[in-house]
Amino acid sequence: AAALPRAIPLAQPPHLHGPQRPGPARHHRQRLPRPQPARDVAQYLLSDSLFVWVLVNTACCVLMLVAKLIQCIVFGPLRVSERQHLKDKFWNFIFYKFIFIFGVLNVQTVEEVVMWCLWFAGLVFLHLMVQLCKDRFEYLSFSPTTPMSSHGRVLSLLIAMLLSCCGLAVVCCVTGYTHGMHTLAFMAAESLLVTVRTAHVILRYVIHLWDLN
């Protein structure tokens, strides 16, 4: 007998099939990066030549608030001579560093001006704190009835300033690696100057406390 032709299976409609399992490519969807508004705003401020001065002004205001907090905790009300010394030190520093930036370095780009302004803002903060510690030490050293807590607060601040100078040395190395040896030399000289002044005041203070004991 002749073989009967094999029946061709009919294709079932799509709704009769079972639930389609997604392929392996559908499981791994591409994840979009999450928006980070704080970082985007910071990058915009740093890239804009006008708004970057907002960041510089903010940094200076933060340093002023920190200095005011240190004054309230460590020194209390300042004497007239201490205020005058701080004022003279501040304006002399600003005057000479302005000449240094635009006369000696001949800075022309906004990025370099911002970098040097932030650097000198940190330096003038340390110089003023060390000057204030020096004036207060000379005032306390003439009073034999000064409590040791007053000496301890001033000496602790000087040690903190010395540690901050070590942090400036790290900043010098990082900035010098990216901007060249000339920038490193200028920054290292300024950092070394405030470090030597701080160490000198600490040494005088330690010798004075040794004599008292």
Residue 26, pLDDT above cutoff 60: no
User: Domain-by-domain residue ranges, the chain?
Assistant: 44-212
Overall average pLDDT of the 74-92 stretch: 93
The residue type found at 153 is R
Residue 42, pLDDT above cutoff 90: no
Given pLDDT bands bounded at 50, 70 and 90, which one contains residue 72? very high
Name the least confident of 11-15, 48-52, 153-157.
11-15
Overall average pLDDT of the 79-108 stretch: 88
DSSP string for residues in 101-132 = IIIIS---SHHHHHHHHHHHHHHHHHHHHHHH
Q: What is the tens place of the pLDDT at every residue in 181-200?
A: 888 888 888 899 999 999 99
Query: Which pLDDT does position 5 carry in this prediction?
Result: 53
Given pLDDT bands bounded at 50, 70 and 90, which one contains residue 81? very high
Percent over 90 (pLDDT), the chain:
37
State CA 8 to chain mean position distance: 79
pTM, rounded to two decimals: 0.75
Calculate the average pLDDT of the chain: 81
Q: What is the tens place of the pLDDT at every residue in 116-151?
A: 888 899 999 999 999 999 999 999 888 777 888 888
Percent over 70 (pLDDT), the chain:
80
Report the half-sphere exposure of 199 (CA within 13 A, side-chain side): 9
Query: Which pLDDT does position 39 carry in this prediction?
Result: 72
How much of the chain is helix, strand and coil, in % rounded to 5?
A: 75, 0, 25
Overall average pLDDT of the 86-113 stretch: 85
Overall average pLDDT of the 85-89 stretch: 94
Residue 114, pLDDT above cutoff 80: yes
